Amino acid sequence: MLGIKRLGLLAALVLVGLAPAAAAQAAAQPSTQDTQYLQAIHQVNLFEITTGDLAQQKGQNQRVKDLGEMFKTDHTQLDQTVQQTASQLGVQLPAEPTTDQQAVIDQLNNASGEEFDRLWVTSQLAGHVQAIQATQTEISQGTEQSVVQLAQTALPALQAHYDELVQLAEQLGIPVPQATATGTPSPGGTPAPGGTTETPAPGGTTESPAPGGTTETPVPSES
């Protein structure tokens, strides 16, 4: 009888020992914030790679071509890390850009000359504002360290892209979007090329808002 009791006690101790390990495994799962950020920034990367190609092919202004090449290179490198991190965490990534991002790609495919350059810069400005806000939200609210570190690595590149875009927009006389109370960029009250009054922003759609949707994250100051 004593042996049976001791076996029961040992079994209980084993179960107690397993409990913390199970709890730690559960805690290691990415939060909704982490998951949504990985998915959103991946779609931003898909958009930037595609539109970077278009800028090199169709841009009239040489600076548009140069930035397109830079953005494609940087976002291709960033997406390698995104895919590795998502794979390690078991996060499934979208296979294509968002509906709004694809709409911008379609508009760019149908534009040419100066119209293309203005549409490209306008959509890139709006997209980078939201990508920066989403990244800052992940840094402040994310719980999975690998995703937070990814966001910390991505932020300087996104901000550098934004600064380059602001300089180019000023040269071309294109309004620079500012953050509104909802964190959504406003194209300065000027309709975007293509007849839209609001430029769809990569990473933040009306169907799938940018992760975190912060209302307090500052937009990078214009350079």
d(CA 181, CA 156): 24
Residue 81: other Cβ atoms inside 10 A: 16
pLDDT confidence bin for 175, thresholds 50/70/90: confident
d(CA 186, CA 178): 6
Q: What does the block give as tokens for 84?
A: 């590795």
Beta bridge partners of 178: 186
**HSE of 40 in the Cβ direction (CA atoms, 13 Å)?**
32
pLDDT at 193 over 80: no
pLDDT at 31 over 60: yes
pTM for this structure?
0.70
pLDDT at 188 over 50: no
d(CA 174, CA 177): 9
The full set of domains in the chain, from first to last, is 30-186 (1.20.1260.10)
pLDDT at 213 over 60: no
d(CA 17, CA 76): 44
For residues 163 and 132, the answer to whether their CB atoms sit within 8 Å is no
pLDDT at 206 over 80: no
pLDDT confidence bin for 5, thresholds 50/70/90: low
pLDDT at 3 over 60: no
pLDDT at 81 over 60: yes
pLDDT confidence bin for 211, thresholds 50/70/90: very low
Please, what sign has the CA dihedral across residues 83, 37, 138, 67?
positive
As a three-state string, the secondary structure of 22-40 is HHHHHHCCCCHHHHHHHHH
First CA to last CA distance, the chain? 80
The string of pLDDT tens digits covering residues 116-167 is 999 999 999 999 999 999 999 999 999 999 999 999 999 999 999 999 999 9
> Which of 22-31, 172-181, 189-198 is modeled with the greatest confidence?
172-181
Beta bridge partners of 196: 192
